Amino acid sequence: MSVENQERWSIKGEFVEACNCSAPCQCLWNEAPDDDECTAALFWHIDEGEYEGVDLSGLTAGALVYDQGILFEGDWDLVVLVDEQATDAQAAALGDIFMGRAGGVMGAVAELVDEVKDTVVVPISYSKQNGHLSVAAGDVVAIEADAIEGFEEVPGEVSPHPLTPPSMTASTGKSTTATVSFNDEFSWDVSGNNSYFGEFEYEG
């Protein structure tokens, strides 16, 4: 493989989202969200990864999304959340990846964004145990969510989910807490609604 064709970066870990739609969220099938607007918080916890030699293992990044109408028609407003534990080099790398500048999956997602309203550095904690997820981003975001079990107590799954490659599969869940408090546009309590989570591998 030539130097030009080598991967500049790769990350893998766990993804979680919590939004205002009833579970499961229908936006994956190009249906309009509940109340014709999407309010969502998304997080990526990186188990292993690096960006152009910068180690990103153990860090977490997030995004707040506000959109009206069909989600994949774009016109999103976005706030990017960067882990306070990140060094300057790590924060720059996370910004490049999750704002789409580094290409890959998030490069495609970036094409749906109309405006990045802000980039905020906050302490982010993430934990997952026995189907329960807990995420906190300072005073901005709080998520508590549990997997939904279906027939014969088998956890539900949906596919394809664009943010969980290579499997493209996400577990279905429901939040018990899903609050955001940032500014007038990004402020909501959608507790008791949809949550998706799964593993991801991104590269570019």
* pLDDT higher than threshold 50 for residue 2: no
Residue 3 in domain: no
The two structure tokens encoding residue 101: 């500048």
State the pTM of this model.
Answer: 0.94
H/E run at residue 135:
strand 132-137
Residue 49 in domain: yes
Residue 189 in domain: yes
Residue 5 in domain: no
Q: Which domain holds residue 114?
A: 11-203
Residue 2 in domain: no
- Tokens 């990044």, residue? 61
Share of the chain above pLDDT 70, in %: 97
55-66: per-residue pLDDT in tens? 999 999 999 999
Total domains, the chain: 1
Residue 57 in domain: yes
- Nearest-angstrom CA–CA distance, 116 and 146: 30
Residue 6 in domain: no
114-159: per-residue pLDDT in tens? 999 999 999 999 999 988 999 999 999 999 999 998 888 888 999 9
Residue 107 in domain: yes
- Nearest-angstrom CA–CA distance, 136 and 81: 11
